[in-house]
Amino acid sequence: RKEVEQDPGPFNVPEGATVAFNCTYSNSASQSFFWYRQDCRKEPKLLMSVYSSGNEDGRFTAQLNRASQYISLLIRDSKLSDSATYLCVVFRGGADGLTFGKGTHLIIQP
């Protein structure tokens, strides 16, 4: 089982819709979790950290389920500019750096 797994998509979603995707991680000792966003041919950028209690930033909501070892990202009222690849990132500590998933490709259609 891969350390961080994501559905690669693409998710084709109409503008204004709500979309959600999950990411599963294999190591129960993982400590920190993040969502990064990467536009085509650009560098990844931090979207939000994911806290145990769940957190919200505008139209974006991130949640962590430690028991089932997954994190989720919910985007409400999606905009055309939300089209990007969303990378799930996990940190398990020790000698490892941040581990990235392959990303979920999201396409918002007008």
Nearer to another protein, 49 or 69 (CB): 49
CA distance 14 to 6: 21
**Among the listed residues 26, 32, 69, 72, the single contact to another protein using CB under 8 A:** 32
Q: What's the N-to-C CA distance of the chain in angstroms? A: 37
The answer to whether residue 22 forms part of the interface with another protein (CB under 8 A) is no
**Among the listed residues 31, 52, 65, 109, the single contact to another protein using CB under 8 A:** 31
Other CB atoms within a 10 A radius of the CB of residue 54 amount to 14
Q: Give the ranges where the chain is alpha helix by DSSP (H).
A: none
The answer to whether residue 34 forms part of the interface with another protein (CB under 8 A) is yes
CA distance 73 to 95: 27
Q: Which residues bind another protein (CB under 8 A)?
A: 4, 31-32, 34, 36, 42-46, 49, 87, 91, 93, 95-103
